[in-house]
Structure 1
Amino acid sequence: MAVKSDVTVTIDIQRPTPKIGFGKPLIIGTSAAGMDYKTYADLAAVKEDHTENSEVYKAAFSLLNQGDNSPFELAVMLRKTGETPESLEDFMTRALAKDWYFAVSTSSQVSNIISIADIIEQNNSRQFFASSASKSDLATIFAKKYTRTTMFYHKTVDNYPEAAWLGAAASANVGSITWKFKTLKGIEPMDMDQTELLEIHALGANTYVTKAGDDVTSEGKTVSGEYIDIIHSRDYLVFSIQYAIQKLLNRSPKIRYDNTGIAQLEAEVRTILKRADLSGMIARDADGQALFSTYFKGRGEVDPADREKREYNDGTFRFELAGAIHAAAIKGTIVL
């Protein structure tokens, strides 16, 4: 059982007035006997445990059918439904203790999607992708305003378009891509006009359409309207800073509670932010400098009660998210 980290990191998303595990998908399914968490590196390995007509294999095929973008590995976990069936809550508790970030379910039933999404939302550390061919189901899910669940609307869902999307995008360096404009192998584009596309987006879903002759994902948002890459980047930074500072504490004989020791903590945070800049997460100014800053109060500014408890709670950082261009309006002038 995992032991709680000594480091807590929180990040608030402020609107302007403003790789390990972070691209790994988990296929969630069911079987009479159940199956514990297992990782696979290719379809041949998946086929040893799951037949080609199984839902697990179909989802894995879509994930691994995206060429060089496909994930290095995927995981599968099945909830027991036979004698003494396991509750979804108990199953997800076990699943959330494993190494993965994006979940896909083998069921597109709205009740199943909501049950999993509720748990993912409460846990606040992973993301869930699902697909639906029903606009009424999309409306039901949209009412929940999930920040960590992403819906994919398509008339054909038995080939797992949402898994194909994960296969095409999830393994990229966190913050280096937008999830819009992605081409999915094995998925046919939807034949719809602009009115229907706007309807789908208004229901908090994404779909797959043809633009300028290319088949691409229509948006890159979760049900709530937040961008997938923002949630991904935030989770990555929280984990990376926690991990870096925990490692510093683990390897050091002692971090002195003075300005020298505090500077060590700040240096670890700045290293992670510099890495995030190189991945494309952080915006840059006109001179090409990353727009981030850190402020860690010195020993003399810290609450004496915190020093007595050997807790440092006064480090902060901020950065301007680079985001991505999803649309453009360009004006021209003709001179006669």
Structure 2
Amino acid sequence: MASTRAQGRSGSTANAIDVVSLTKRFGRHDALRAVDFTVPRGSVYGLIGPNGAGKTTTMRILLDIIRSTSGRTAVAGTDSRTGGPDLRRRIGYLPGELILQGRITGRRLLSHYAAVSGPVPPGRIDELAERLRIDLDRPVRKLSKGNKQKLGLIQAFMHDPEVLILDEPTSGLDPLIQREFLGMVKEVRDEGRTVLLSSHVISEIQEAADAVVILRDGVVVEVAGVEVLRRSAVRRVRLQVETRDERALDADLAESGLTAVTRHVRDGLADVQAELGGPIRPLLRALATLPVHDLVLEEPDLQDAVLRLYGTDRPALVPGDAAVGAGDSDEVAR
């Protein structure tokens, strides 16, 4: 099994990825500033943040594609700077800006990658091609962006790497293939291997990741489990309540824990919209004394928590919208 091979190479460290005081400067621009986080073995971590946050820079340093100004990174217990080709064969990498050209077929291109990345189990390439629904006998130059992305995914997964580092992996993929990709990620985790992926698709992170590292302006602002972030998110509340005393209603709502309250009263009915950021019990106690006609309490969403950590001046992300940017614009000052 792939997981057995990976564990045999891993050594004793509990982390698949270690990032310690990582700093990277491009001229006068600090792309990363003292970034610290770890990714335990056998887990899926999301690396998220707005464009320019430092996601792609971090991933490229992990691969030793670029060198840090200071700090240290290790993958599979091996220093990124000294691991060399042997370490990179233990990693599956998909860049955010995947450029594939040429008259050769996808099959020949993947055969070339297989010779570089290490042994690929017999039939593995065809198995992945079938799952991702791509014809490997077509010339690469005639493939659409989505099909080129599928080739990139195949080359990252095909040698059963110990660690997968994937930068915007679902960019250009249709929803059905995105679902298949998420299934592949879960299989990797179940086998005890590790995935670090960046994405602008918050719903994708919510489904695939165990935890997230949130970057903003080159600084880690939060490292937390997905469920922890989700529970900390603000719930949106809508209710309709019968009222003849608006002041009394306002007093009851003030004791309920609701914030950002707006209400519209007509014909003795108050339509109330608000947010709930704390426990739900004070709200239930307050509502128990009121003649409530209707109540909608939305499930907290990971996106709300993430956007609050990004900062209110950041552009909003749309759930399921992968078109924000296939690559990250981290290295604007390169």
TM-score above 0.5 = no
Greater share of strand residues, 1 or 2?
A: 2
- In the superposition, the TM-score normalised over structure 1's length comes to 0.27
Report the structure number with the largest CA radius of gyration: 2
Tell me the TM-score normalized by structure 2.
0.27
